[in-house]
Amino acid sequence: MFLHIYLYRLKCIIRDKQNVFWTLMFPLILATFFHLALSNISNMESFTEIKIGIIDNEELREHKEFTEIIESVPDLFNVTYVSRTNADKLLEDGTIEGYIHFDGGLKLFVRESGINETIIKSFLDDYMQTTSTINTILSQNPAAIQDGLPDSLFDRKDYLKAGSAGKSEPNTVMNYFYTLIAMTCLYGSFSGLKEVTALQGNLSYQGARMNMAPVHRAKIITASMSAAITFQLLVVSTVLVYLIWVLKIDFGNQTGYIALTSLISTVTGVTFGTFISSVNRKSEGVKVGILIGTTMTMSFLAGLMYDKMKYIVHTKAPVLSFLNPANLIADSFYALYYYDTYTRFFSNIALLCGYSVLFGALTYLAVRRQRYASI
Amino acid sequence: MIIKVNNLVKRYDELIALDHFNLEVREGEIFGLLGPNGSGKTTAINCILSLLKYDKGTIEIYGRPMAPDAYDIKRNIGIIMQNVAVFDELTVYENIDYFCGMYIFDKQRRRELVEEAIEFVELDSFRKFLPKKLSGGLLRRLNIACGIAHRPKLIILDEPTVAVDPQSRRKILEGIRKLNEEGATIVYTSHYMEEVEEICTRIAIMDKGKVIASGTKDELKGMINSGEKLTVEILEFNPNILEGVGSLPSIVSVDYNENNNMLVAKSRRGKNNLSALLEYLRNNQINVGRIYSEPPTLNDVFLEITGKELRDHV
Ligand SMILES: Nc1ncnc2c1ncn2[C@@H]1O[C@H](COP(=O)(O)OP(=O)(O)OP(=O)(O)O)[C@@H](O)[C@H]1O
Ligand SMILES: [Mg+2]
């Protein structure tokens, strides 16, 4: 029985072309659009090794530790040793992005200024600072070098962050995509709305027929909601796959947690729709309008259209950022990618679960009643 | 007793839609609920089905109180709403299968029943069609199939023939009779008295939320004072004739239509009304052409009780 209702409801949702367009095609189009608009900024998110040249000369050979250190970060730099004239040529035709010349001190030659150039420069700055640190340490405590001190001083991640600091911050770029996913999850509300309409006697004639079925209300409700959640999960997965594999946007590699976030966010979206649909008797068109309005506002406040918005809300009205499901969803992906600890992630997830339970319970209370004041 | 409704009162805010409404439907009958638009037929049906809250009264089906969670009662009811209630995304077959599946768990049995229902409403060549590709009449037939596929013992049809072409209407009426012959009890609402008179074994006439009369059609017609409607063609008319006919004891009212030269007289209930009229005309040497006599209709019943026509046009 559950399965019978579930499968048929799923069929109905999937065949609803308008619903499929808005919940699936629209986010995909928006993602593509974002990608085109932001691809310069987000270049560094799909980071590839920076090709650099080093002028091979006497002075370089005197600084053996430099060669060692630069080769200790192979995933950051792809090094070619060249002569000065060759280096200029390579720089000119773009084979390398800069070259380093020991010429009475460390000198960096670059062609333009960009993220990669900033990374090379900050690496060199660090090197110079660190060598003096190491010299100091060595003179005071020669044993320290055996504890792997230099390693920790040159960490690839630091340079990625340093590089990004120069340009627009990468996390705000990523945030566009995180809020896009958040919006997609919340668009589950449209299917939620559709399902409640289809099972409520005072919302549709089909619902009245469903009311006459000798099937327990809770069963119809859970089967219908499961169908909506299944559909929206398929949508969210498709959008995620598109972002990660086609647009090459890095969501990190914590697949399990990403799936968990998607699931809970989708449930939040669907229950939000069932809630809005079940607590008022406005026409379906009006309710769709309400859903578009609220999900757009939430996504906007989470930074969908303007990257500083998230920050503004967070500083000016911090409560709002906890109340806004779109922000909680986007921030969960953000926390997964940028944080090593899970405190922030799980507090977001807990709040989202809270919302789902709240919306779900309110829906059930409104929908389980079967005798209506008017039809 | 299949359905027993006692003093049902239902209000929509100020409007009293059902005013101490009473109803009894017995096993095996085709029960007609006849009333003009807005008289409360749909409201009554929805209350009986526990879809609507009501303010007062009791409703029993199969001798047990009806309630939203009376699933064993619901299992035996088939409902065809006044408005088509099918899913736009599902085909004809799928729609019937979906609703049938709410009642029948066995897949094989369900398939048989769905096939029978499709055959019953003659939608075989449309089984893969989506509802929006169906004409109004076909859609009504699909709506009926969705309500009866599980072979309920009690079938309630709320104006199933509204906005249906004559051919589909005929099929629907035949179908209802067939379902009844196969053992189902039928409750049928309509504001077409001809339909009700044609297929119903017992009838309740509603007006303003009340049942104003009920019984078999003969019983209903026996309740009123009017007898047949007599129509006589008179080619050489003079006003004295109207006066003379009007003064006959068996005639209630008389009228003459100059356009078709027809004299229309309504008679009192009783015997030999027509011969009395003809005798008067003969005695006064008035030549007559065509003659009709029509028995009273449910409209006359409605007219006499409420003082208004059941429908504006007859
Ligand atoms: N949801 C509602 N809210 C307020 N009034 C209503 C509602 N539904 C029906 N009514 C009123 O209740 C009365 C009875 O309506 P109902 O639909 O039961 O009549 P009906 O006999 O089925 O008419 P029809 O032949 O047009 O279907 C009407 O006056 C109608 O306007
Ligand atoms: Mg009605």
DSSP code at position A372 = B
Ligand 1 pocket check for B67: Cβ under 6 Å: no
- Cβ of A375 within 8 Å of Cβ of B98? The answer is no
User: Which CATH code for domain B226-295?
Assistant: 3.30.70.100
Given this model, what pLDDT does residue B107 score?
A: 94
Q: Looking at the CA of B34, name the nearest ligand.
A: 1
- Mean pLDDT throughout B227-237? 86
> A99-105 contacts: CB < 8 A, separation 24 or more?
A99/A52, A99/A53, A99/A54, A99/A55, A100/A52, A100/A53, A100/A54, A100/A55, A100/A124, A101/A54, A101/A55, A101/A57, A102/A55, A102/A57, A102/A59, A102/A60, A102/A62, A102/A63, A102/A66, A103/A55, A103/A57, A103/A59, A104/A59
Chain A's closest residue to B90, CA to CA, is: A12
Tell me which chain B residues have a C-beta less than 8 angstroms from the C-beta of A216. Answer: 69, 71
Q: Sketch the domain layout of chain B as residue ranges.
A: 3-221, 226-295
Q: Sketch the domain layout of chain A as residue ranges.
A: 2-41+172-368, 47-154
Residue A45's alpha-carbon distances to A75, A158, A172, A251, in angstroms, are 14, 14, 12, 10
pLDDT digits (tens, 9 = 90+) for A162-218: 444 333 345 567 888 889 999 999 999 999 999 999 999 999 999 999 999 999 999
Class of domain A47-154: alpha beta
User: Which CATH code for domain B3-221?
Assistant: 3.40.50.300
Q: How far is A228 from chain B (nearest CA, A)?
A: 15
Residue A100's alpha-carbon distances to A62, A81, B293, in angstroms, are 15, 10, 118
- Mean pLDDT throughout A348-372? 92
Q: Which residue is associated with the tokens 């005197």?
A: A62
Q: CA angle A241-A246-A251, nearest 5°?
A: 55
Q: How far is A222 from chain B (nearest CA, A)?
A: 15
Ligand 1 pocket check for B40: Cβ under 6 Å: yes
Distance CA B79, CA B90 (A): 19
Cite the beta strand spans of A39-76 per DSSP E: 50-55
Which of ligand 1's atoms lies nearest the C-alpha of A375? 1
Any A CB within 8 A of B57 CB: no
Pocket test for ligand 1, best of B11, B42, B212 (most atoms within 8 A of CB): B42
Distance CA B165, CA B248 (A): 44
pLDDT digits (tens, 9 = 90+) for B12-45: 999 999 999 999 999 999 999 999 989 999 999 9
Given this model, what pLDDT does residue A167 score?
A: 33
3-state secondary structure of A332: helix
| Of B14, B44, B20, B288, the residue nearest B159 (C-alpha) | B44
**Alpha carbon nearest to ligand 1 atom 28, residue:** B38
Ligand 1 pocket check for B43: Cβ under 6 Å: yes
Tokens of B22: 């009473």
Is residue A44 scored above 80 in pLDDT? no
Given this model, what pLDDT does residue A158 score?
A: 52
- Cβ of B102 within 8 Å of Cβ of A215? The answer is yes
Distance CA B45, CA B39 (A): 12
Q: CA angle A253-A256-A257, nearest 5°?
A: 85
Poorest-pLDDT segment among A21-30, A150-159, A185-194, B59-68: A150-159
Out of A5, A208, A371, name the one closest to residue B85 (CB): A208
Any A CB within 8 A of B190 CB: no
How many residue pairs bridge chain A and chain B with CB atoms within 8 Å of each other? 83
Distance CA B184, CA B179 (A): 6
- Mean pLDDT throughout B254-283? 86
**ipTM for the predicted complex:** 0.84
Model confidence band, residue A48 (pLDDT cutoffs 50, 70, 90): low
In chain B, the percentage of residues whose pLDDT exceeds 90 is: 58
Ligand 1 pocket check for B215: Cβ under 6 Å: no
- Cβ of A205 within 8 Å of Cβ of B94? The answer is no
DSSP labels, B136-185: HHHHHHHHHHHHHTT--SEEEEESTTTT--HHHHHHHHHHHHHHHHTT-E
Q: Which residues keep their CB under 5 angstroms from ion ligand 2?
A: B 41-42, 82
Q: How far is B178 from chain A (nearest CA, A)?
A: 23
Is residue B241 scored above 90 in pLDDT? no
Distance CA A36, CA A17 (A): 27
d(CA B180, ligand 2 centre) in Å? 22
Is residue A248 scored above 90 in pLDDT? no
d(CA B38, ligand 2 centre) in Å? 7
In chain A, the percentage of residues whose pLDDT exceeds 70 is: 85
Any B CB within 8 A of A17 CB: no
First-to-last alpha carbon distance for chain B, in angstroms, is 35
Model confidence band, residue A133 (pLDDT cutoffs 50, 70, 90): low
Ligand 1 pocket check for B147: Cβ under 6 Å: no
- Mean pLDDT throughout A276-296? 90
Out of A204, A214, A372, name the one closest to residue B103 (CB): A214
Q: Looking at the CA of B41, name the nearest ligand.
A: 1
pLDDT digits (tens, 9 = 90+) for B189-228: 998 888 898 999 999 999 999 999 999 988 888 888 778 8
- Cβ of A1 within 8 Å of Cβ of B105? The answer is yes
pLDDT digits (tens, 9 = 90+) for B248-262: 888 888 888 888 888
Ligand 1 pocket check for B191: Cβ under 6 Å: yes
- Cβ of A208 within 8 Å of Cβ of B87? The answer is no
Given this model, what pLDDT does residue B240 score?
A: 86
DSSP code at position A49 = P
- Mean pLDDT throughout B141-156? 96
**Alpha carbon nearest to ligand 1 atom 16, residue:** B40
d(CA B83, ligand 1 centre) in Å? 13
Is residue A31 scored above 60 in pLDDT? yes
Beta bridge partners of B59: B5
| Of B218, B167, B183, B177, the residue nearest B199 (C-alpha) | B177
Distance CA A370, CA A373 (A): 10
Any A CB within 8 A of B214 CB: no
Residue A251's alpha-carbon distances to A240, A332, B19, B161, in angstroms, are 9, 11, 65, 59
- Mean pLDDT throughout A42-50? 58
Any B CB within 8 A of A20 CB: no
Out of B68, B83, B90, name the one closest to residue A12 (CB): B90
Distance CA B186, CA B196 (A): 12
| Of B166, B161, B222, the residue nearest B192 (C-alpha) | B161
Distance CA A348, CA A339 (A): 13
Out of B53, B69, B75, name the one closest to residue A372 (CB): B53
- Mean pLDDT throughout B304-314? 67
Any B CB within 8 A of A201 CB: yes
Given this model, what pLDDT does residue B124 score?
A: 94
d(CA B189, ligand 2 centre) in Å? 8
Given this model, what pLDDT does residue B177 score?
A: 95
- Cβ of B51 within 8 Å of Cβ of A209? The answer is no
Is residue A311 scored above 50 in pLDDT? yes
First-to-last alpha carbon distance for chain A, in angstroms, is 26
**Alpha carbon nearest to ligand 1 atom 1, residue:** A374
Which of ligand 1's atoms lies nearest the C-alpha of B44? 18
Average pLDDT, chain B: 90
Poorest-pLDDT segment among A83-87, A264-268, B185-189: A83-87
Given this model, what pLDDT does residue B155 score?
A: 97
pLDDT digits (tens, 9 = 90+) for A221-241: 999 999 999 999 999 999 999
